[in-house]
Amino acid sequence: MSHAKDNGIDIRNNGAPLDLNLLKGIRVNKSAVERRSATMGTRRSVKKEWQAAWLLKAVTMIDLTTLSGDDTPGNVIRLCAKARRPIRQDLLDNLGMSDANITVGAVCVYHNMIETAIEALEGSQIPVAAVSTGFPAGQISLDQKLEEIEKSVKAGAKEIDIVISRAHVLRGEWKELYEEVKLFRKSCGDAHMKAILETGDLTTLTNTARASVVCMMAGSDFIKTSTGKASVNATLPVSLVMVRAIREYYEATGIKVGFKPAGGIQKAKQALEWLILIKEELGDEWLTPELFRFGASSLLGDIERQLEHFVTGRYSASYRHPMA
């Protein structure tokens, strides 16, 4: 079930009734998941012009992010300039992609930088995503969380990255989690909602699978691994569990839910591993900015460096490829 949106995303998850019996039946075989994940970067190899093409595709799926305590309007304006033109023009010319209009998928900022980002991105159709609900810990009242979402939507954010209450997962309070995420979704209105599980806090892969399903039943348009602020962020085993939950939800409901790994994905080689994961587990339909995003800040710089190596045959210093 979907409808068109003016920010380029036209897929919405209208949710489903909470099914506690389904949750009870979810069990994850950790060793099998780890074995499958370990083969992700070894079973397939993408080289030369095919690698360059995949890396350019990866750029279009980046939520270019700045979520630091020292963020300033100047930092955000520079970030947005890079979002508009993420790859140097001379590299695009050499790759025959000068007219491809490659941009990142979104710019992700704190609430107080929304208006700065919107102004800097004017005319680009790049949506602004805002983190909300007491990001990253989520340790504020429910009323404060809902108010935060509503303020960010009113300020012009087209996507809202919410954090779930991890305590609900750890206590097995699935009905409470479902009701919370449904309220978040209602407050988002027409804005797309990404539910951050912070999987490093959830202790088990089974908890991750169950939380993924509850968030999708409650209407999340995306499920996201992490805030990027925890000691453990996006990993391939966690991602495999989440994308298989997405696949099973799609098979059961016909609704496509997006996936966003975030935190710790810094190298082009890692980006390729996640793209291979999505292609093999969900198929080419999910390899679009509408259904897959990287939450990243430094990834773009390494992708640009790898593309320069493809064009020139030489590796340049990392400092020549600043994120913004």
Token pair belonging to 166: 């991890």
Every domain of the chain and the residues it spans: 20-320
Tell me what percent of the residues of the chain surpass a pLDDT of 90: 88
Give residue 12's pLDDT. 92
Say what the pTM is. 0.94
> For residue 95, what pLDDT is reported?
95
**What whole-number distance in Å separates Cα of residue 280 and Cα of residue 119?**
38
Residues taking part in catalysis: 161, 224, 260
Per-residue pLDDT averaged across 39-58, rounded?
86
Tell me the pLDDT tens digit for each residue of 266-320.
999 999 999 999 999 999 999 999 999 999 989 999 999 999 999 999 877 777 6
The least confident of 1-5, 170-174, 192-196, 309-313 is 1-5
Task: Fold for 20-320, please state it.
Answer: TIM Barrel (3.20.20)
| Separation of CA 103 from chain center | 16
Q: How confident is the model at residue 43 (pLDDT cuts 50, 70, 90)?
A: low
Sheet containing strand 106-109, strands side by side: 258-260, 222-224, 192-196, 159-163, 128-131, 106-109, 62-65, 294-296
- Give the largest Cα separation in the chain, rounded: 57
Q: pLDDT of 159-185, one tens digit each?
A: 999 999 999 999 999 999 999 999 999
78-135, pLDDT tens digit by residue?
A: 999 999 999 999 999 999 999 999 999 999 999 999 999 999 999 999 999 999 999 9
